Amino acid sequence: MSQPPDQPDPYARVVHRFATAGKLAAARMMLNWDAQTNMPRGGAWARGEQMAALTEVSAELIGGDGVDDELSEAEELAARLEPDERADLKEMRRTWVHAAAVPKALQAAKARMSQELQAIWTRAKPENDFKSFAAPFDELLKVQREIAAAKAEALGTSPYGALMDEYDPGVGERLVDPIFAELAQALPPLIAEVLERQAGWPDPIPYPPSPIARQTELSHRLAIAVGHDPEQFRIDAAPHPFSVPHSPGDVRFTTRYDEDDVRFSIMATLHEAGHAMYEANLPRAFAFRPGGMARGMSVHESQSLSLEMMAGRSREFLEHLAPLMAEVLGGDPEPYSARNVLNATRRLDDDFIRVNADELSYPLHVILRYRIEKALLSGDLKVADLPGVWDDMFEKMFGRRPPSLAKGCLQDIHWAAGYIGYFPNYAMGALLAAQLFERANAEDPAIRPALARGDFGPYFTWARSRVHARASLVGFDQLVTEATGQPLSADAFMRHVRRRYLEEPAP
Amino acid sequence: MSQPPDQPDPYARVVHRFATAGKLAAARMMLNWDAQTNMPRGGAWARGEQMAALTEVSAELIGGDGVDDELSEAEELAARLEPDERADLKEMRRTWVHAAAVPKALQAAKARMSQELQAIWTRAKPENDFKSFAAPFDELLKVQREIAAAKAEALGTSPYGALMDEYDPGVGERLVDPIFAELAQALPPLIAEVLERQAGWPDPIPYPPSPIARQTELSHRLAIAVGHDPEQFRIDAAPHPFSVPHSPGDVRFTTRYDEDDVRFSIMATLHEAGHAMYEANLPRAFAFRPGGMARGMSVHESQSLSLEMMAGRSREFLEHLAPLMAEVLGGDPEPYSARNVLNATRRLDDDFIRVNADELSYPLHVILRYRIEKALLSGDLKVADLPGVWDDMFEKMFGRRPPSLAKGCLQDIHWAAGYIGYFPNYAMGALLAAQLFERANAEDPAIRPALARGDFGPYFTWARSRVHARASLVGFDQLVTEATGQPLSADAFMRHVRRRYLEEPAP
């Protein structure tokens, strides 16, 4: 299948094979973007068929018969390759291990079952109907266990660790467990302290409703400020914000517009613009190849959160954002005073929803899911017991009990969609964002003053060479250590939230 | 590559293989739509890589090692298949013959050279620069000759006929040659007669400029009138109007808006809406499979021209369109009187450009290209002599000489894009449109009165079962004969243009 004409060199042959798979993956991502933004409703069936075909053909290119031998041939000649090429080859092998470890029929079963379960979840969530969700979720978990066992054997990890490795190589339980234990201890008392401090603040003035057209204008202005090239990106509206990987020179992301609350679009735009900047800066020479892709989900999330949380919620940037909101959104300027924008942005939330959570609570939401999904995968937690266990753990962490399943264990689509082992990166990414941003500011004192002018250039200049350009050509630990001087820990994050929420002057 | 899990049946195996290729082709078409409508300029390189990968993988699925044997196994069991399945299998074999006949390296060379030549053409055309076009076109022709020879051997046709067969099976030189000879004789004196008749008419009042937003509204209203389901189509603007095949339930087409001349968008919308209606009505049970695709380019063009030329320029519909234009476009209503719209629409043109040509001149433009490209492929006509020969032939046919290459032999992108053997369908489609429309009106007298209400439903109800639903499950001759009672000829077309241009009362 993969051998291109006139390409007898074993390394060139596997490069062609894996790059072809990468291009098909890119096509699939673009069709998914289209499905979320442009597609007529009637197109769902045909699009599903097209995307399934792309998945099947890509999987066969990567994990089919003969690929193991092709990789071995190339690996035998690895000594004569450049270091980056060797790293690329190593990533091909890793990709192959994941694809080849699991029998086709099991992959197909998971794809089919998760497709069905997402439809069930979509109905069950607003109706708080756990009963119709439970049985098919239990069936999907059985398949997930088989897949995890097969990958664990191939990778030499725990079953849960094998699932994590697919999304986030190098960010395994050994790294996550102690960090999550530390955060689970440290964050609740810190949250209590911050809430007590904020109790004395004046109530923020709510932002008035803003027409979508003005929010769209603001989102475009922000994307340009972040440094996206108008000829190389586009931003559109979609129900769930996301960014599109694997299309160098054509970086797309979506945001979500809520007329009643402009904060959603601003924060989603900054978040996705950060993901998109990582994709935009990946090395073109390794485009579509495993070594040329983003290092993993934690690093990806660190780039969205560097922008949304670290730079985007810095006092410097908020003081720039406030008059920009007043200018673009129009109407009464009072809610857009720097003081009110800071006050509104700094407030901790008292809700139950992960995606709306503040910076301090967010890791706890993730830790809750991490512990529960590990127990679900191992079988220690029965599906029938999930709602009660979730609510108990939530109450213990946050001091309040979810009023419904839609605000409890049915709030996220991930489990229905077959994502187990994915949640940790949301929190690990936040820690890495803090560690990178701290180091960047230490090395370049121009970063914060630039943010006060709405200019993210200096930060991305720093991150580009240290994170983006390295793609998957180095491992997670090496990337983090070389960029920040030490392995990933919660230290910088804890320093950051203490400084921002306890030491910064009140608005 | 192609064997799906649990699919040991040889027929099911080839169905899966060819349907997978069809889904990849559909993905490619959708990415092309995106490139023309949404893509940031910076995306050209990545999109080219993605589309080339899809082409390569599809070609390998259809023409790779082992496919011949797989098809033979299925063919041995053909007796136990349903007739439609046998027809589908026959189309798979035809698709395979085209894919397998040509060595990969030759296909790749053609793809690369035509990609380059299109870029050269884009620069050369406005500058009337034949010199920079000639040498690479000559190189491309050499490759085309090798491809045509290889396919001719596999198909048992002439080299030119083999190229035609790829686009339009069943519409070979044996059908085209006598029909084109007849038209080349009959049309010039008819055109002269019509021009003489029109010389006595009052000058049409030019349509005033119309804002794009109003033209967009009109295009949407027309698409709905044609019968497109708002949940199953979309219409967008693109520089060159086209429609997107192979995505049932998601039929997209584009139109072109020229503020100064609303006629372009109206006619392009009707034209593409006709193509799209064919795609929308193809049988879902054979979706993505060779037998489930449109029969060929002449039948496809017959559906666009049934709508644009036959129904869309009928007196009945124009009398409905005129007040609709006045309502949607606004401004001075005088140019939108039924009388003026009829007068403007009936006028023959005196230009040099195929795509703008009137109904009577159009086949002559195609015949010119047909004769020239056959001579270019055979080598009887040297590339260096092309401009002079084109201008001489044009002058002989139309009585006027092209003032520039942009209005002469460089006007179309087809040759630069590697399309040889494609042009005939534009004229054959016009003849078939007339033959189908005549028969439809004879069988259902409600068609014309419905057009006077802007309702295309009765015509498409007729065409749906007789053309659309048959897909490629019958051959061209059978389809035409069963739909109209006789094989394709120029008779109905000649009756139609005489009636419309000589017998209809003057506006």
- Per-residue pLDDT of B230-267, as tens digits, reads 999 999 999 889 999 999 999 999 999 999 999 999 99
- Residue B217, pLDDT > 90, answer yes
Q: Are A493 and A431 in contact (CB under 8 A)?
A: yes
- B325-380 pLDDT, tens digit each: 999 999 999 999 999 999 999 999 999 999 989 999 999 999 999 999 999 999 99
* Distance (Å) from the alpha carbon of A101 to chain B's nearest alpha carbon: 16
pLDDT for position A177 = 98
Is A1 in contact with B57 (Cβ distance < 8 A)? yes
Task: Select from B24, B31, B252 the Cβ nearest to the Cβ of A53.
Answer: B24
Helix (H) or strand (E) holding A235: strand A233-237
Is A38 in contact with B234 (Cβ distance < 8 A)? yes
Q: Are A333 and A463 in contact (CB under 8 A)?
A: no
* Distance (Å) from the alpha carbon of A144 to chain B's nearest alpha carbon: 19
Residue of B nearest to A27 (CA): B50
- Residue B6, pLDDT > 80, answer no
Q: Which CATH number fits domain B164-507: 2.60.120.200, 1.10.260.40, 1.10.1370.30, 3.20.20.80?
A: 1.10.1370.30
Is B45 in contact with A229 (Cβ distance < 8 A)? no
Ordered alpha helix ranges (H), B403-456 = 424-443, 447-451
pLDDT for position A2 = 41
Nearest to B145 by CA among B171, B97, B113: B113
Q: Cα–Cα distance between B24 and B97 in angstroms, integer?
A: 19
Where are the strands (E) in A241-389, listed by range? 251-255
A59 Ramachandran zone, left/alpha/beta (phi>0; psi -120 to 50): alpha
Rounded to two decimals, the ipTM of the complex is: 0.94
Q: What DSSP letter does each residue of B355-372 carry, written as one string?
A: GG--TTTHHHHHHHHHHH
Residues of chain B found within 8 Å of residue A247, distances taken between Cβ atoms: 43, 46-47, 50
Share the mean pLDDT of chain B. 95
* Contacting A residues, span 54-83, partner chain B, CB-CB under 8 Å: 54, 56-57, 60-61, 64
Residues of chain A found within 8 Å of residue B234, distances taken between Cβ atoms: 38, 40
Q: At CA B170, angle to CA B168 and CA B173, rounded to 5?
A: 85
pLDDT for position B456 = 95
What are the residue numbers of the active site of B? 272
In chain B, where the domains are located = 10-163, 164-507
Chain B touched by A287 (CB under 8 Å): yes
| Residue A172 token pair | 């395994």
pLDDT for position A7 = 58
Q: Three-class SS of residue A490?
A: coil
pLDDT for position A5 = 46
pLDDT for position A3 = 44
Residue A31 CB contacts under 8 Å (≥ 6 apart), including other chains: A47, A50, A51, A54, B27, B30, B31
- Angle, helices B130-155/B386-398, rounded to nearest 10 degrees: 80
In this prediction, residue B7 has a pLDDT band, given cuts at 50, 70 and 90, of low
Is A50 in contact with B23 (Cβ distance < 8 A)? yes
The 8-class DSSP code of residue B286 comes to: G
Chain B touched by A233 (CB under 8 Å): yes
Task: Select from A1, A60, A250 the Cβ nearest to the Cβ of B40.
Answer: A250
Note the Cα B293 to chain centre separation in Å: 14
Q: Cα–Cα distance between B218 and B103 in angstroms, integer?
A: 48
Q: Which of A6, A7, A38 to mutate to test the interface with B (most CBs of B within 10 A)?
A: A38
Is A250 in contact with B30 (Cβ distance < 8 A)? no
- Residue B5, pLDDT > 80, answer no
HSE of B479, CA atoms in CB hemisphere, 13 A: 26
Chain A touched by B244 (CB under 8 Å): no
Ordered alpha helix ranges (H), B444-499 = 447-451, 457-466, 476-484, 491-498
Chain A touched by B1 (CB under 8 Å): yes
* Contacting B residues, span 18-57, partner chain A, CB-CB under 8 Å: 19-20, 23-24, 26-28, 30-31, 34, 38-47, 49-50, 52-54, 56-57
| Residue A187 token pair | 């964050």
Beta strands B233-237 and B251-255 are parallel
pLDDT for position B108 = 87
Tell me which CATH code domain A133-507 carries. 1.10.1370.30
Q: Which of A18, A32, A247, A252 to mutate to test the interface with B (most CBs of B within 10 A)?
A: A247
| Residue B201 token pair | 């008419």
Residue of B nearest to A236 (CA): B38
Ordered alpha helix ranges (H), B291-361 = 297-305, 315-329, 338-346
Q: Cα–Cα distance between A500 and A216 in angstroms, integer?
A: 29
* Contacting B residues, span 84-113, partner chain A, CB-CB under 8 Å: 104-105, 108
Q: Mean pLDDT, to the nearest integer, of B23-37?
A: 96
pLDDT for position B115 = 86
Q: Which of B13, B29, B38 to mutate to test the interface with A (most CBs of A within 10 A)?
A: B38
Write b or e for each residue in A438-458: b if 16 or more Cβ atoms lie within 10 A of its Cβ, otherwise e: bbbbeeeeebbebbeebbbeb
Residue B496 CB contacts under 8 Å (≥ 6 apart), including other chains: B310, B434, B437, B438
Beta strands A251-255 and B233-237 are unpaired
* Distance (Å) from the alpha carbon of B35 to chain A's nearest alpha carbon: 10
Q: How far from A179 is each of A186, A302, A363, A490, B319, CA to CA, in Å?
A: 10, 16, 10, 6, 75
Q: What DSSP letter does each residue of B208-272 carry, written as one string?
A: PP--HHHHHHHHHHHHHHHT--TTTEEEEE-SS--B--S-TT-EEEEE---TT-HHHHHHHHHHH
Q: What is the pLDDT tens value at each position of chain A, 507 positions in all?
A: 344 545 579 999 999 999 999 999 999 999 999 999 999 999 999 999 999 999 999 999 999 999 999 999 999 999 999 999 999 999 999 999 999 999 988 988 998 899 899 999 999 999 999 999 999 999 999 999 999 999 999 999 999 999 999 999 999 999 999 999 999 999 999 999 999 999 999 999 999 999 999 999 999 999 999 999 999 999 999 988 999 999 999 999 999 999 999 999 999 999 999 999 999 999 999 999 999 999 999 999 999 999 999 999 999 999 999 999 999 999 999 999 999 999 999 999 999 999 989 999 999 999 999 999 999 999 999 999 999 999 999 999 999 999 999 999 999 999 999 999 999 999 999 999 999 999 999 999 999 999 999 999 999 999 999 999 999 999 999 999 999 999 999 999 999 999 999 999 988
Nearest to A473 by CA among A321, A285, A315: A285
Task: Select from A6, A20, A250 the Cβ nearest to the Cβ of B57.
Answer: A20
